[in-house]
């Protein structure tokens, strides 16, 4: 009987060992699918979730080998997708709308910034902008080529304010912080991700930075998310689903573990200071985590809100003679079945 037991145990051990060893042709033996992912700009602290998804092994878990490339803006990101330089990219809904209006065949499959990052910065003491009504009579440092003033004008119209009473002073982006802190203009517009640096600079000058985020005062406009060409989506649906799932895990990780995510990113971009990156992660957390994503998961978006974003663009910014249909902007089938919640 003892001999029989030893034989049975030996056989069971062999079976368990065989099960643990990857078999030829198994999923573990398959080569990773290479993906080039284009950011919307040069790597900054706000991009830490994508690097965390690499460092923490989330892409590898999905059978993907992801490389991240920089961009000089969202228009360049879309160009990279159309040229095949990148397969998947990160861009905003306004740029997507304009690209579709000009013939680009790109769709968004996940929304990472539920709230648009357009912000007006001022100082206290100073203009101290905290309410929409203060925009009337305000001078705002902005760029001549930027469409952000058009978004602000639409925001003012929605609030029953006269956008003609907002004076735009042409200030190049690199000079805006300096002009604000020097008192040359009472306010400037920038993406809210600039808040940590501006806050520190204002404090050093003995002033308090005031941040007026339009999305916190009624602006409903989706912003950045994951995009790909229609052709790539049609031919690589499963790959995109796996990419989206792994990416959202990276976002979940970064929002829960900002310092570790910042350190993960610094392995790929040594010039970034993890401490400063943590502050940017905190800013994008406010854009990404809303009641909707707490309920439905990161990356989720409402088709009705996407149409609202398109309507806002068409009414206040302008999209040319061939505006896209709302349904052409997105595809909802690439989000994970089980939500990845913040």
Q: Check: CB of residue 50 under 8 Å from CB of residue 64.
A: no
> Which of 98, 123, 227 is CA-nearest to residue 179?
123
Sheet containing strand 224-229, edge to edge, reads: 64-69, 33-38, 88-92, 224-229, 106-111
Global pTM reads 0.88
Instruction: Tell me the per-residue pLDDT of 200-232, one tens digit each, with 9 for 90 and over.
Output: 999 999 999 999 999 999 999 999 999 999 999
**Tell me, what's the pLDDT at 30?**
81
Residues 6+ apart with CB under 8 A from 21: none
Is there a contact between 110 and 163 (Cβ–Cβ < 8 Å)?
no
User: What's the mean pLDDT in 99-113?
Assistant: 96
The per-residue pLDDT of the chain, averaged, comes to 91
Task: Report pLDDT for 197.
Answer: 94
pLDDT band at residue 29 using 50, 70 and 90 as cut-offs: low
pLDDT beyond 50 at 147: yes
- pLDDT number for residue 12: 38
Instruction: Tell me the per-residue pLDDT of 264-316, one tens digit each, with 9 for 90 and over.
Output: 999 999 999 999 999 999 999 999 999 999 999 999 999 999 999 999 989 88
Integer CA distances (angstroms), 75 to 41, 90, 114, 194, in order: 10, 10, 20, 21
């Amino acid at each position: 009987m003892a001999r029989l037991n030893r034989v049975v145990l030996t056989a069971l051990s062999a079976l368990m060992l065989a099960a643990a060893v990857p078999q030829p042709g198994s999923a573990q033996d398959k080569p990773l699918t290479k993906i080039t992912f284009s950011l919307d700009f040069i790597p900054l602290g706000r991009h830490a979730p994508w690097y965390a998804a690499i460092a923490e092994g989330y892409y590898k878990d999905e059978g993907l080998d992801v490389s991240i490339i920089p961009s000089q803006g969202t228009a360049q990101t879309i160009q990279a997708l159309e040229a095949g330089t990148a397969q998947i990219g990160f861009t905003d809904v306004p740029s997507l709308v304009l690209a579709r209006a000009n013939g680009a065949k790109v769709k968004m499959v996940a929304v990472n910034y539920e709230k648009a990052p357009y912000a007006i910065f001022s100082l206290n003491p100073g203009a101290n902008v905290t309410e929409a009504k203060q925009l009337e009579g305000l001078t705002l440092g902005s760029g001549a080529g930027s469409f952000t003033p058009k978004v602000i004008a639409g925001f003012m119209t929605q609030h029953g304010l006269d956008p003609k009473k907002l004076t735009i002073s042409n200030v190049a982006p690199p000079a805006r912080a300096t002009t604000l802190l020097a008192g040359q203009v009472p306010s400037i517009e920038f993406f809210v991700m600039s808040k940590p640096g501006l806050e520190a600079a204002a404090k050093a000058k003995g002033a308090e930075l005031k941040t007026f985020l339009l999305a916190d005062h009624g602006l409903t406009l989706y912003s950045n998310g994951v995009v790909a060409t229609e052709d790539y989506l049609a031919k690589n649906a499963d790959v995109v689903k796996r990419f989206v799932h792994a990416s959202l895990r990276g976002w979940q990780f970064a929002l829960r573990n900002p310092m570790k995510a910042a350190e993960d990113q610094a392995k790929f971009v040594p010039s970034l200071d993890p401490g400063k990156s943590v502050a940017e992660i905190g800013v994008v957390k406010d854009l990404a985590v809303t009641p909707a994503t707490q309920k439905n998961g990161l990356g989720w978006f409402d088709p009705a809100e996407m149409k609202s974003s398109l309507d806002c663009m068409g009414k206040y910014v302008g999209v040319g003679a061939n505006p896209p249909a709302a349904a052409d902007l997105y595809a909802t089938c690439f989000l994970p079945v089980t939500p990845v919640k913040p």
